[in-house]
Copies of this chain bind each other. A is one copy, B any other.
């Protein structure tokens, strides 16, 4: 099996970065050869999360077809939100929680979407289904993605699945999600205030 890249959307948020790491980890456990990359630099919130859980910043790419033939998308599916040369590679897998639009393939693929608050919530279920254990550090990252996408379970897109995932992941990561979550969201807000000030 040849190597595939896994990535979230352009202008990545925490879910786009983290879901790529989580899905790449899962797929490698299942026998694929993947690398999680990003389509842009992490924002301040995501950088806080990566620092907090001592996780390296993913490599940023702008093209995929010079490295691989096939890719896996997380947290997006629309071509205009994806890598610039998305039309030149084969999409073999998608895990997402958005509407489907401006997306098509010439072959059957693995596609997993659910109308929940965060891609990492779906990934949490997939780890369960495949009976793959989530390491504590990765659980911390996935928890952070759900906190980010659901604004600490307060956004109208929040579902019971997101709540259950947050509780389970906080347990594995051994963090108090409420205290940690406020810190994380504050780290993201710093960016907005700075941008406003600039």
Contact partners of A100 in chain B: CB under 8 A: 100, 103-105, 109, 111
Query: A55 on the interface (CB 8 Å rule)?
Result: no
Q: How far is the CA of A3 from the CA of B108 in the complex (A)?
A: 30
Please report A residues at the B interface, Cβ cutoff 8 Å. 97-115, 129
Rounded to whole Å, the gap between the CB of A87 and the closest CB of chain B is 14
The answer to whether residues A109 and B113 also contact, given A100-B100, A129-B129 and a CB cut-off of 8 A, is yes
Q: How far is the CA of A104 from the CA of B104 in the complex (A)?
A: 9
Rounded to whole Å, the gap between the CB of A53 and the closest CB of chain B is 28
What are 8 A-B contacts defined by CB distance under 8 Å?
A100-B111, A101-B105, A107-B115, A109-B113, A109-B115, A111-B111, A111-B113, A129-B129
Q: How far is the CA of A106 from the CA of B101 in the complex (A)?
A: 8
Considering the complex, give the chain B residue whose CB is closest to the CB of A126. Answer: B129
Contact B110 A99 (CB under 8 A): no
Considering the complex, give the chain B residue whose CB is closest to the CB of A111. Answer: B113
Option from B108, B113, B114 in Cβ contact (under 8 Å) with A99 = B108
Rounded to whole Å, the gap between the CB of A114 and the closest CB of chain B is 5
